């Protein structure tokens, strides 16, 4: 296998990648972990500083960027034990609070998000808005005392049950319709009127998805993160890292599946040579390797641009990286399962369970089609059909 390093890996990043990889391999002897294992892994990774590598040092983080955090997630995934909540808690919520939060909000949340003792979920998706976030209707009404009342419904929100709070994307009452002017609120899990219901998914993952109902949730004035008039800038400060981290999640999984398939193809022998000698088996694996590597390069570019402060450039690259990673991983997992024949579908080898998991990266956090729409309109300047 080629080296997992990318052109932007400094010696520190090479060391981080190696350390996370060896830590993760020690935790994943049998493949993807179950719920208790994930909890333990989260706690240990937090103690080692891996969960907060992107957060400011003055709040207990590692002082790095999304590049470092994506290395952590990719290497965990490549060892078979990805942590989905990394996409949400330090990458979206940690970044948004670090960039736009008040001193008190940073003090309250960042040290815990960095060491993993606090977790924050993120809720933007709504049943009637879906891919069209401009249609979200979760509404915040300002009270006379400066506090807020939130009402709305969210779906598919990951990890609400284990998160201490959820960063909810709403809109203010006077901006209820028209172009989205999002406002971000930290809603504690115990807030009165905040309830959640598990959505059973056909996914073999430890982290679960929930429908969330906000029924007259009363929040203090300082639940609002950032400026209520900042528009999309603050939201995308969180959404671009989410896309880059979803690419890292997918690419780790793709590398894990490909490694398993290559190992198997090297040794499994049913005719004269191991099955890996048949080009019908070898070439699709080689293609997958190339496609994963190409997607990793785009992810590295997106993370680099984001960390350099180029939000606009990072937006396009993050979309493309997420697209490329999702496609490459869906294909790699499919081919890996096929390479193992009947064993590809056994629980012992644990590959078939990745078929649905890999497809998440095609749908969330923004679907393949919406990325193609973005590139058609924003990059290529083609007209819009919707
Ligand atoms: C495992 C998992 C975890 C998730 N975790 C979270 C989370 O933590 N927080 C959160 O907020 N959300 C989360 N989501 C939600 C996710 O972001 C949404 O599912 C996603 O944005 C797509 O929205 P939708 O499901 O409503 O699909 P829809 O918007 O209904 O789309 C359905 C299909 O129509 C296509 N489509 C829609 N509009 C167009 C168009 N204009 N042109 C072409 N095609 C179009 C889409 O590409 C898609 O294929 C999660 C989802 C999953 C599956």
Taking only the tens place, the pLDDT of each residue in 119-142 is 999 999 999 999 998 899 999 999
CA 370 to ligand 1 centroid distance, Å: 9
Residue 24 sits at φ, ψ, to 5 deg, of -70, -40
Residues 6 or more apart in contact with residue 189 via CB below 8 angstroms: 160, 163, 164, 165, 166
Of the candidates 208, 225, 242, which is a domain's last residue?
A: 225
Residue 3, domain member (yes or no): no
- Per-residue DSSP letters for 221-263? GGGEES-TT-THHHHHHHHHHHHHHHHHHHHHHHHHHHHHHHH
SS3 call for 195 = strand
133 Ramachandran zone, left/alpha/beta (phi>0; psi -120 to 50)? alpha
Query: For residues 292 and 335, what is the distance between their CA atoms, to the nearest angstrom?
Result: 13
Residues 217 and 303 in one domain: no
Give residue 35's pLDDT: 76
Residues 242 and 341 in one domain: yes
Of the candidates 67, 98, 115, which is a domain's last residue?
A: 115
- What's the N-to-C CA distance of the chain in angstroms? 44
Q: What is the mean pLDDT of residues 191-215?
A: 96
Residue with tokens 């749908």: 363
Query: For residues 134 and 154, what is the distance between their CA atoms, to the nearest angstrom?
Result: 14
Which residues form the domain of 77?
11-115
Q: Are 138 and 169 in contact (CB under 8 A)?
A: yes
Give residue 37's pLDDT: 85
CATH of the domain at 337: 1.20.140.10
Residues 148 and 82 in one domain: no
Query: For residues 235 and 193, what is the distance between their CA atoms, to the nearest angstrom?
Result: 24
> Using CA positions, which residue lies closest to atom 24 of ligand 1?
130
Residue 52 sits at φ, ψ, to 5 deg, of -115, 25
Of all atoms in ligand 1, which is nearest to the CA of residue 121? 8
> Using CA positions, which residue lies closest to atom 4 of ligand 1?
156
Comparing 104 with 228, the larger pLDDT belongs to: 104
Taking only the tens place, the pLDDT of each residue in 69-81 is 999 999 999 999 9
Strand partners, 186: 167
CA 187 to ligand 1 centroid distance, Å: 23
Residues 370 and 259 in one domain: yes
Taking only the tens place, the pLDDT of each residue in 295-342 is 999 999 999 999 999 999 999 999 999 999 999 999 999 999 999 999
User: Percentage of the chain surpassing pLDDT 90?
Assistant: 87
State how many domains the chain has: 3
Query: For residues 335 and 290, what is the distance between their CA atoms, to the nearest angstrom?
Result: 14
Largest CA distance in the chain: 81
CATH of the domain at 217: 2.40.110.10
Residue 384, domain member (yes or no): no
Of all atoms in ligand 1, which is nearest to the CA of residue 158? 8
Model confidence at 173, pLDDT cuts 50, 70, 90, reads confident
Taking only the tens place, the pLDDT of each residue in 26-42 is 886 444 457 788 989 99
Cis geometry, peptide bond prior to residue 365 (ω within 30 degrees of 0): yes
Residues 132 and 100 in one domain: no
Residues 136 and 255 in one domain: no
Of all atoms in ligand 1, which is nearest to the CA of residue 132? 29
CA 362 to ligand 1 centroid distance, Å: 9
Residues 61 and 187 in one domain: no
Q: How far is CA 165 from CA 31, 194, 247, 341, in A?
A: 30, 10, 25, 44
Residues 70 and 85 in one domain: yes
Model confidence at 263, pLDDT cuts 50, 70, 90, reads very high
Of all atoms in ligand 1, which is nearest to the CA of residue 87? 8
CA 152 to ligand 1 centroid distance, Å: 18
**In the structure, which protein residues have their CB atom closer than 6 angstroms to any atom of ligand 1?**
88, 122-125, 130-131, 156-158, 203, 209, 360, 363-367, 369-370, 373, 386
Residue 5, domain member (yes or no): no
Strand partners, 142: 148
CA 92 to ligand 1 centroid distance, Å: 17
Strands 209-219 and 194-199: antiparallel
Residue with tokens 């709040």: 59
Residues 130 and 26 in one domain: no
Residues 130 and 216 in one domain: yes
Residues 139 and 215 in one domain: yes
Residue 173, domain member (yes or no): yes
Give the global pTM: 0.96
Give residue 94's pLDDT: 98
309 Ramachandran zone, left/alpha/beta (phi>0; psi -120 to 50)? left
CA 104 to ligand 1 centroid distance, Å: 34
Of the candidates 206, 225, 244, which is a domain's last residue?
A: 225
Q: How far is CA 195 from CA 161, 191, 214, 287, 296, in A?
A: 10, 9, 7, 46, 38
Query: For residues 166 and 209, what is the distance between their CA atoms, to the nearest angstrom?
Result: 13
């Amino acid at each position: 296998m080629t080296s997992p390093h990318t052109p932007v890996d400094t010696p520190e990043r090479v060391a981080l990648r190696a350390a996370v990889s060896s830590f993760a391999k020690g935790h994943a002897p049998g493949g993807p972990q179950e719920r208790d294992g994930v909890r333990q892994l989260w706690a240990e990774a937090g103690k080692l500083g891996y969960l907060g590598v992107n957060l400011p040092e003055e709040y207990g983080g590692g002082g790095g960027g999304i590049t470092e955090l994506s290395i952590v997630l990719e290497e965990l995934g490549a060892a078979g034990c990805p942590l989905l909540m990394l996409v949400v808690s330090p990458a979206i919520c940690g970044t948004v609070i670090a960039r736009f939060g008040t001193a008190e909000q940073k003090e309250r949340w960042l040290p815990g998000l960095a060491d993993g003792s606090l977790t924050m979920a993120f809720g933007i998706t709504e049943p009637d808005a879906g891919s069209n976030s401009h249609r979200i209707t979760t509404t915040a009404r300002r009270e006379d005392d400066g506090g807020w009342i939130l009402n709305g419904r969210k779906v598919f929100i990951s990890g609400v049950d284990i998160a201490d709070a959820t960063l909810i994307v709403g809109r203010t009452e006077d901006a209820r319709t028209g172009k989205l002017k999002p406002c971000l609120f930290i809603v504690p899990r115990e807030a009165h009127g905040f309830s959640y219901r598990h959505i059973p998914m056909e996914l073999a993952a430890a982290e679960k998805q929930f429908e969330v109902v906000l029924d007259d949730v009363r929040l203090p004035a300082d639940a609002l993160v950032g400026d209520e008039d900042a528009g999309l800038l603050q939201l995308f400060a969180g959404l671009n890292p989410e896309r880059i981290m979803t690419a890292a999640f997918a690419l780790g999984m793709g590398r894990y599946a490909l490694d398993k398939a290559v190992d198997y193809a090297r040794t499994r022998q049913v005719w004269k040579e191991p099955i890996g000698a048949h080009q019908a088996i070898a070439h699709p694996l080689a293609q997958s390797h190339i496609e994963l590597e190409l997607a990793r390069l785009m992810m590295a570019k997106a993370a680099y641009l984001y960390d350099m402060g180029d939000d606009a450039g990072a937006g396009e690259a993050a979309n493309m990286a997420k697209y490329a990673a999702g496609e490459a991983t869906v294909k790699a997992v499919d081919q890996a399962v096929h390479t193992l024949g009947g064993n590809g579908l056994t629980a012992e080898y644990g590959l078939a369970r990745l078929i649905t998991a890999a497809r998440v990266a095609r749908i969330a956090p923004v679907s393949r089609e919406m990325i193609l729409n973005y590139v058609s309109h924003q990059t290529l300047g083609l007209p819009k059909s919707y």
